[in-house]
């Protein structure tokens, strides 16, 4: 059985992987199509950051259902766990975002 901390790590690294993988492969596709790869990678970082969080959480509907039960039925424990899962996924996406920007030589975030 997967524990709470394991889920936090999974969410973090899944969202990190979506950002890094999407940007790297998008840069490769940009190279093949004659566009500047670094600019394409930086543009993709902005576009797929939210999608990385959604993918890490397994879609939005289960997350909203847990949040609804937590708010309206008083299940505070489930609500807090979901908030931590969202924060973990956001942290992974932000780290991937920063890695791509630093690799691109952009120091201003």
Domain that holds residue 82: 4-101
Is the pLDDT assigned to residue 30 strictly greater than 80?
Answer: yes
* Domain-located, residue 106: no
**Predicted confidence band at 93 (pLDDT cuts at 50, 70, 90)?**
very high
Cα 104 to the center of its chain, rounded Å: 19
Q: Which two tokens stand for residue 76?
A: 């505070």
Give the number of domains in the chain.
Answer: 1
Q: Is residue 48 part of a domain?
A: yes
pTM above 0.85, yes or no: no
pLDDT value of residue 4: 86
Cα separation, 5 vs 83, whole angstroms? 13
pLDDT at 59: 67
Q: Is residue 61 situated within a structural domain?
A: yes
By C-alpha distance, which of 105, 101, 95 is closest to 16?
95
């Amino acid at each position: 059985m997967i524990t709470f901390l394991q889920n936090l790590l999974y969410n973090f690294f899944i969202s990190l992987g979506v950002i890094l993988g999407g940007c790297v492969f998008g840069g490769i596709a940009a190279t093949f199509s004659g566009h500047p790869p670094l600019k394409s990678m930086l543009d993709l970082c902005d576009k797929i950051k939210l999608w990385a969080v959604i993918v890490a959480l397994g879609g939005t509907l289960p997350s909203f259902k847990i949040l609804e039960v937590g708010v309206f039925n008083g299940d505070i424990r489930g609500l807090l766990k979901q908030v931590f899962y969202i924060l973990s996924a956001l942290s992974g996406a932000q780290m991937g975002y920063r890695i791509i920007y630093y690799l691109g030589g952009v120091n201003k975030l």
